[in-house]
Amino acid sequence: MDKNITPYKDSSLGKKEQVAKMFDTISGNYDNLNRVISFGIDVKWRKKVLKIVNDNKPETILDIATGTGDLAILMSNTSAKEIIGLDISAGMLEVGIKKVAQKNLSDRIEMILGDSEKIPFDDNHFDAITVAFGVRNFENLEKGLAEILRVLKPNGTFVILETSVPEKTPYKQGYNFYSRNILPIIGKLFSKDNVAYGYLSESAAAFPYGEALNNILRKTGFIDVKAMPQTFGVATIYVASKK
């Protein structure tokens, strides 16, 4: 992906540090914003991810870019013995750790600070790995995906939930209007960080989706790659596995 799309245009920091800083800043408002921006539909998409993961009865699950932990928390509906949420933003994790504790899930879900480009686990460790709205923010997409492939077990399940761009009229035009005009205003109203939601819509428009992301997954070494567009294509669930 285009490394030039970063949150803070005039920053001397690299994309990774800028992304961590931005999510640290918006962490307190993130959950509310997320629901408003997606009109709550993200909850339905997350449940689909849970179903896909649960179909293979995983014992070990890693939720990368877990943020405030919604997907990791949902994974407690599986019978997995190990559920890990990993993120580079200490601020997002702090909110997530509180949510996990409030739901009495601290003994089932471990939330750790870490980088998708250097995952602190051995090869072939996880039965299932998920990333929701995270891959778009990776500084180096290919490196992050290669690390995910490394720690995934053979025949394991990898699921990405990510924004995409509707291709059909009138959804395409509606989406463009919403993301260019409405999304940044909602972001500014709700968020302390003025640039954050400008970055989020800009990066969503530029990120590869559908067959383009399928091809990147295949090139990384994933097999059985499939893209399933959701809600007119505003998001896509990608499923892949390892030989």
Ligand X SMILES: C[S@@+](CC[C@H](N)C(=O)[O-])C[C@H]1O[C@@H](n2cnc3c(N)ncnc32)[C@H](O)[C@@H]1O
- Binding residues for S-adenosyl-L-methionine, by number, are 68, 87, 115-116
Binding of ligand X by 119 (CB under 6 A) = no
Per the DSSP assignment, residues forming a β-bridge with 135 are none
Q: Which is closer to ligand X, CB of 33 or CB of 225?
A: 33
CA-CA distance, 134 to 65, in Å (whole number)? 5
Residue 231: left if φ>0, alpha if ψ -120 to 50, beta else—which one? left
Residues 73-112 that bind ligand X (CB under 6 A): 86-89, 92
The least distance separating ligand X from the CB of residue 18, rounded to whole angstroms, comes to 10
Residues 48-67 that bind ligand X (CB under 6 A): 64-67
Number of Cβ within 10 Å of residue 171's Cβ equals: 15
Among positions 1, 20, 26, 234, the unique one binding ligand X when judged by CB under 6 A: 20
Angle at 158 between CA 57 and CA 117, to 5 degrees: 130
CB 90 within 8 A of CB 113: yes
By CB under 6 A, the count of residues binding ligand X is: 25
Binding of ligand X by 115 (CB under 6 A) = yes
Among positions 54, 84, 128, 134, the unique one binding ligand X when judged by CB under 6 A: 134
The least distance separating ligand X from the CB of residue 118, rounded to whole angstroms, comes to 9
CA-CA distance, 184 to 187, in Å (whole number)? 5
Sorted by sequence, the CB contacts under 8 Å of residue 172 that are 6+ apart come out as: 165, 166
The footprint of ligand X (CB under 6 A) covers: 16, 19-20, 23, 34, 64-67, 70-71, 86-89, 92, 115-117, 132-134, 137-138, 144
